[in-house]
Structure 1
Amino acid sequence: MKTVNNRPGITLNGNEASVLLWAPKAKQVSIKIQNSNEQLPLEQQPYGYWQLKTDKLHAGTQYKFVLDDEKELPDPASLHQPDTVHGPSEVVDLQAIQWTDNNWQNLPLQDYILYELHTGTFTPNSTFAGIEAKLDYMVELGVNAIEIMPVAQFPGNRNWGYDGVFPYAVQNSYGGAGGLQRLVDACHQKGIAVVLDVVYNHMGPEGNYFGEFGSYFTEKYNTPWGNAINFDDAGCDAVRHYFIENVLMWFRDFHIDALRMDAVHAIKDFSAVHILSEIRTRVNELMQETGRKHYLIVECDLNDTRFLNPQNVGGFAMDSQWIDEFHHALRLAAGGEPTGYYSDFSGVTDLAKSYQDAYVYDGQYSAHRDKHFGIKAENNPGEQFIVFSQNHDQVGNRMLGERSSELFSFEMQKLMAGAVLTAPFLPMLFMGEEYSEPHRFMYFVSHTDAELAEAVRKGRKAEFAAFHAQGEAPDPVDEKTFIDSQLQWNLPELGQHSTMLSFYKALIQLRKSLPALHNLNRKQVKAEANEEQKTVVLRRKHHVQEAIVLMNFSGNIQSLSLPDTAQTWKKQFDSADTQWNGPKAAPEVVNGGDGVELQPESFIIYINE
């Protein structure tokens, strides 16, 4: 069966509006124009769809759907919710913007240096315009791809974004559809790609009216956040169509360069063609039509290369994935506590393994999971993996939301940055880490449903009841929790913060300019750990150039020998240099076979002469 081949909701084409709604439960459907109360009946179509073409709907018209003359509901494919998730939807003309990025070409994926940010806490005004005002800062920092946490409409003005209930509507308080389009256009003018985080594994609770229209959810499976979205049960064709068209909308109408799909391990689909594979096929068709390049990035904790492998060998052909295991190993190496899921990791040994193999667990027994876990990722290139020392999850899911700046010393923060930015994978920073932002990034919501808000508050307290010695979990509903999570833009020019920012700029520039670091050939990577010394030696090659990264995670000076006695090694970067407020710089040139003293919590990069 072929589903209706256009976008759900209301699409404007000149003076005519096309309306498409999937409501298989309804016996009759009309659209109610809010300011006049006029109702326009929709015509029933096969497979539960309802359709209308009319000249009575224009940009700015507010409306609701009326099902069977009794239920008045916002549009599940609404493009704008001007007055909360419960209010009327508003017609938006996605073609109204005058794009100036016609010459923009998406960057090669292997060149991406990602910067994850949250629109609400990135700047004090919590808007896309606020991000736009900081683009020159991003360019100077050296990042070339911003990854924006989810912007689908959620209740109130404060939310991480994973409680969205209108996947097509851009959060009104951030600036709506037009604000996001203008931001993307401005990013492209500055040479910055835009990655948008989207959630296709669950929906938020408040304002979730999907069940009133049709079987968007299935009881066959559950996710940690409630019933799973129906990708393979009765009625799933229309649900698949809904989400596929959402992907295409972001790329076609918003010029988004890549999507980061949240927790795809929670997408349950036993169809012959998995929904991710179908999305891949449809995106390929769109790229063929437009000549523009778009990437699909997934968050996935299954250590399963099927998500990355080409479709002709049964894979879903996703372009890249986050690997949390690199993060976990790095945190343990840096001295983090081996509690919870960190208990599976050993620090420097597992960090060296991740450099070498991407996945730490690729078939061995995991005590935390109590099973053998993962598969080897031998044939997947470096750009298929994204690594980081912190991200919204790993910071914000801590009880107090502490960043690395609070948990680790200044020297260790520099070492962790070096571990990420010299990796043979795509590096990602979390907003503010580049200047050691001390403000925590905490969990916050602004549900307008008082009962739900109280349930979230109690749930957060219960989740961390065992940690009561560390204090109280911050109240996620209190606006202060949100404000205290915002970046402090006066800091990058001050003291140690300024030093850290300069350090990040220099390190990012080195990664871009040094072929042995810039090229992501995993066949030319060697990594060795010494548990006793708490050191890692990472070697990366491109053609004749070899870079060697010496890392010392211990609190003592450690001596490491440089390999290849016939070689001379020239220093490129030293985190212990006094220009970075370090204790002492290492020699500029070292002969192969000679030892180098590594300062505590530091790294040095040498290349062969």
Structure 2
Amino acid sequence: MTFQTIVRSHKMRFGAELRENSTRFKIWAPKCKSIQLKLKGKRTLLDLEARKDGWHKIEVEGVKAGALYKYVLPDGMEIPDPTSRFQPEDVHSWSEVVDPRKFDWTDAEWRGRPWEEAIIYELHIGTFTQQGTFRAAIAKLDHLVMLGITAIQVMPIADFYGRFNWGYDGAMLFAPESAYGRPEDVKAFVDAAHERGLMVFLDVVFNHFGPHGNYLPSVSPIFTNRHSSPWGAGINYDDKGADVVRELVIEAAIYWVTEFHFDGLRLDAVHEIQDDSTTHILEIIAARVRAANPYRFLHLIVENSKNQERWLRRTSGRHPVHYTAQWNDDVHHLLHAAATGENTGYYADFDNLEERCERLGKALAEGFAYQGEIRPRKGEKVGEPSVGLPATAFVSYIQDHDQIGNRVFGDRITKLANVDAVKALTAVYLLLPQIPMLFMGEEWASTQPFPFFSDVPPDLRDAVLGGRQEELKNTPEHDDPSKPNVEDTVDPTLVSTFESAKLDWKNLSKQEHADWLWHYRQLIDIRKMEIIPRLPGLEGFSAHYEILGMKAVLISWRMGDGKMLRLYANLDNDSQSGVPPVIGRRVHLQGFAEEGVLGPWSVLWTVEI
């Protein structure tokens, strides 16, 4: 690929916008009659022009990139710009005027990759390397290419309070976390990934703001009491002033895929986004982001525990109407329960063995395990029929940040299940017609945990630890006397907890981990040769499943090329007899299979000749 140098800049309606010889400052603050601008190093405060619609703005000559500023409210309170492009000294300090044109992109010809080619690798920038920066992460991109990864999903980077956080407590929608580097460093990472043929998706949070550093409530009706969320009042998507709030979030989504050239977004917990408007904010976000990037492959992913098929529908031309795919927790839960035997917490819905296999077949073949039926755990109906969706509308995995981190010690599945079981699970999900996602370090069976971590002010540490212990009571370890006690959880506010999650790259030199890496590379190679070429044209209503035993299933898919792909899987410690005759050419065998029998933890894939 030949690259030419270009610049990218998204014209912002909010915040500080650099002009030729000046900077325009603009803030939506309907709660304030007046706003003043404070420039670092200048004694004089400058009055912003107040408009009746709640906007305040001023254009200041001579203010250049790198200038630091704050806003001063009528009561004398000084706040950073809530829509700042960068906070060099964290969320409570000065905002910086940024010139996005300073970065020279080399990916002018990059248009992304088709969704069918996606093999996703989820990572957390702060723990992906020892340095925990975007620049350091660039050095590991060749490892991902060698592994066969085609897409990186970066956990949230919106600036949060303190030195470390998972990222879901972001306070600044437009400012990348300063601990990870400057905006130019984020762009360098994306640019380097594109140079290697890697897509990069960004995890964004539009269902709440972090508890520290969000100054929007001081100046605007960002929240509404019409709705509530696990974090307090809901974001105001449908109450008075909602039009600007909606535009703020839409602008943030467009900003990341335009100015930073991300190839898509993953929207966190959209089931917690409450909106009674005629047109839901999720619909508007998808439409506006796609319209702003019409000539690229752009992929939008949701996390949605309500399993709503409506957001994943396709056009007659098989293109997503709104969102490309959804994280499929049902597949994770069912495979995890099979390998570990856990049947509480997340996995209580799959306690019944006979029903579990039926749910497994449905989730692998159709996407959702529950499609408008009662989930035992909460006693409520969940899900919509998903059989009409193509398998590529779902992202499957056996580990992610939530399912590892929401355990007492943040243990990975290789510590919870035996090797044969884990290798069987990998042989299932990496070759599924659903889109696979790995969690960082999974490919070499990293022994590093990934516990929850969150830096908070000292006076709140006890409350956060207590809240964490309470939250863990909804996990699989709480009701199992053989598991660690929730009161023994590592303290998420300690820097040592954060440091413990940093990947152990040196272990790649050990034979045990090298063997795991070879196992993953082999399966990904098979996916690229046998599965991906058959995904284009794959439609809904193309799969069928049969229950072969208590933990054994046969799944068939009519692929986009017309060939039949079959999965014979026995996820049990005992052999499964009575298996139907194997049809087609063997693509991969994990374990043992002979006429009519699948061995323990055995997975066989075939494709029609």
Shift of 1:522: 4.3
Counterpart amino acid of residue 556 in structure 2: R
Indicate the residue corresponding to 2:574 in structure 1. Answer: 556
2:106 corresponds in structure 1 to: 100
Give the Cα–Cα distance (whole angstroms) in 2 for the partners of residues 234 and 498 of structure 1: 57
**Helix, strand or coil: the match of 2:505?**
coil
Aligned to 2:528: 512
Give the match for residue 401 of structure 1. 410
Q: How far apart, CA to CA, are the structure 1 residues paired with 2:314 and 2:589? A: 40
- Tell me which moved more, 375-384 or 353-362: 375-384
**2:509 is the alignment partner of 1:493:** yes
Candidates 450, 462, 466, aligned match of 1:454: 462
* Pair 406,517 (structure 1): closer, same or farther in 2 beyond 3 Å: farther
Aligned-partner Cα distance in 1 for 2:45–2:534:
59
Give the drift of 1:154. Answer: 0.8
Alignment of 1:367-386 (within 5 A): 367-386=376-395
Where 2:92 maps in the other structure, the secondary structure is: coil
**Match 1:234 to one of 240, 251, 261:** 240
Q: Deviation per CA, 1:560-587, whole angstroms, max 9, x where unpaired?
A: 54537xx6x44332223xxxxxxxx657
RMSD of aligned C-alpha atoms? 2.1
- Contact residue 431 and residue 531 of structure 2 kept, 8 A: no
Q: Distance in 2 between matches of 1:224 and 1:171?
A: 24
After superposition, give the CA deviation of every residue in 1:119-142 in whole Å (9 maximum; x if it has no partner). 111111101112211111000111
Q: Would the aligned equivalents of 1:306 and 1:316 in 2 still touch at CA under 8 Å? A: no
Q: What does residue range 41-120 of structure 1 map to in structure 2 within 5 Å?
A: 41-68=47-74, 70-120=76-126
Shift of the 427–515 alpha-carbon distance from structure 1 to 2, 3 Å rule, reads closer
* Cα separation, 2, equivalents of 1:296 and 1:378: 20
Contact residue 414 and residue 602 of structure 1 kept, 8 A: no
Decide whether the 8 Å contact of 1:28 with 1:69 is kept in 2: no
What is the distance in 2 between the residues matched to 1:517 and 1:351?
A: 25
Q: Contact 1:334–1:347 at 8 Å: present in 2 too? A: no
Partner Cα separation in structure 2 for residue 8 and residue 311 of structure 1: 34
Name 1:581's counterpart in structure 2: none
In the alignment, structure 1 residue 334 sits paired with structure 2 residue 342: no
User: The residue matched to 2:53 in structure 1 has which SS?
Assistant: helix
1:155 paired residue number: 161
Q: What amino acid sits opposite 1:183 in the alignment?
A: F
The structural deviation recorded for 1:541 is: 3.7
2:231 match: 225
Question: Any unmatched runs of 5+ in structure 2?
Answer: 1-10
Q: Secondary structure at the match of 1:490?
A: helix
Q: Which digits, 9 at most, give the CA deviation of each residue in 1:7-42, with x for residues without a partner? A: 311111332322220001111112100122332221
C-alpha contact (below 8 Å) 2:366/2:543 kept by paired residues = no
Contact map agreement 1:198 1:259 (CA 8 A) in 2? yes
Greater Cα offset, 554-563 or 368-377: 554-563
Q: Distance in 2 between matches of 1:296 and 1:443?
A: 26
Question: Structure 1 residues 605, 380: closer, same or farther in 2, change over 3 A?
Answer: closer
The amino acid across from 2:363 in the alignment is S
Give the one of 519, 525, 535 matched to 2:552.
535
Matches for 1:169-180 after TM superposition, within 5 Å:
169-180=175-186
> For residues 360 and 335 of structure 2, what CA distance do their matches in structure 1 show?
6
* Equivalent residue, structure 2, for 1:598: 598
Cα distance per residue 1:197-222 (max 9 Å; x no partner): 00000011112221111110111111
* Change in 2 beyond 3 A, CA 1:376/1:475: same
Question: 1:308 touches 1:317 (CA, 8 Å); kept in 2?
Answer: yes
Q: Is the 8 A contact 1:169 1:176 kept in 2?
A: no
Cα distance in 2 for residues equivalent to 1:508 and 1:607: 16
Q: Which of the numbers 257, 282, 287 marks the counterpart of 1:281?
A: 287
Query: Helix, strand or coil: the match of 1:47?
Result: coil
Q: Which residues of 2 match residues 155-304 of structure 1 at below 5 A?
A: 155-288=161-294, 291-304=295-308
Which digits, 9 at most, give the CA deviation of each residue in 1:148-191, with x for residues without a partner?
A: 00001111121000111111110001012111111000010000
- Offset at residue 146 of structure 1 (A): 0.4
- Aligned AA for 2:344? T
Shift of 1:544: 5.4
Whole-Å Cα distance in 2 between the matches of residues 601 and 79 of structure 1?
A: 50
Query: What's the CA shift string for 1:80-108, capped at 9, x where partnerless?
Result: 11112111111111121100000001111
Seen in structure 2, the aligned counterparts of structure 1 residues 505 and 522 have a Cα distance that, compared at 3 Å, is farther
- Structure 2 counterpart of 1:357, from 348, 366, 378: 366
Deviation at 1:147, TM superposition (A): 0.3
Deviation at 1:49, TM superposition (A): 0.7
**Match for residue 477 of structure 1?**
493
Q: Say yes or no: does 1:437 pair with 2:446.
A: yes
SS of structure 2 residue aligned to 1:470: coil
Q: Structure 1 residues 382, 572: CA separation in 2 closer, same or farther (over 3 Å shift)?
A: closer
Identify the residue that residue 590 of structure 1 maps to in structure 2. Answer: none
Counterpart-to-counterpart distance in 2, 1:165 and 1:300: 22
Structure 1: tracts of 5 or more residues without a match: 577-584, 588-593
What is the one-letter code of the residue matched to 1:548? R
Q: TM-score, normalised by structure 1?
A: 0.91
How far, CA to CA, are the matches of 2:184 and 2:290 in structure 1? 26
Specify whether residues 311 and 207 from structure 1 end up closer, same or farther in structure 2 by C-alpha distance, changes over 3 A only: farther
TM-fit CA distance, 1:516: 7.6
CA distance in 2, matches of 1:381, 1:254: 30
Looking at structure 2, the residues matched to 606 and 478 of structure 1 have their Cα atoms a distance apart, in angstroms, of: 49
* Percent pairwise identity: 36
Distance 2:433 2:565 in 1: 11
Residues 301, 307 of structure 1: alpha-carbon distance in 2 compared, 3 angstrom cutoff: same
For the structure 1 residues 214 and 318, does the alpha-carbon distance in structure 2 shift closer, same or farther, using more than 3 Å as the test?
A: same
Equivalents in 2 of 1:419, 1:13: separation in Å?
54
* Separation of aligned partners in 1, 2:97 and 2:227: 34
Indicate conservation of the 8 Å contact 1:154/1:171, yes or no: yes
AA partner of residue 519 (structure 2): F
Change beyond 3 A, Cα 1:128–1:499: same
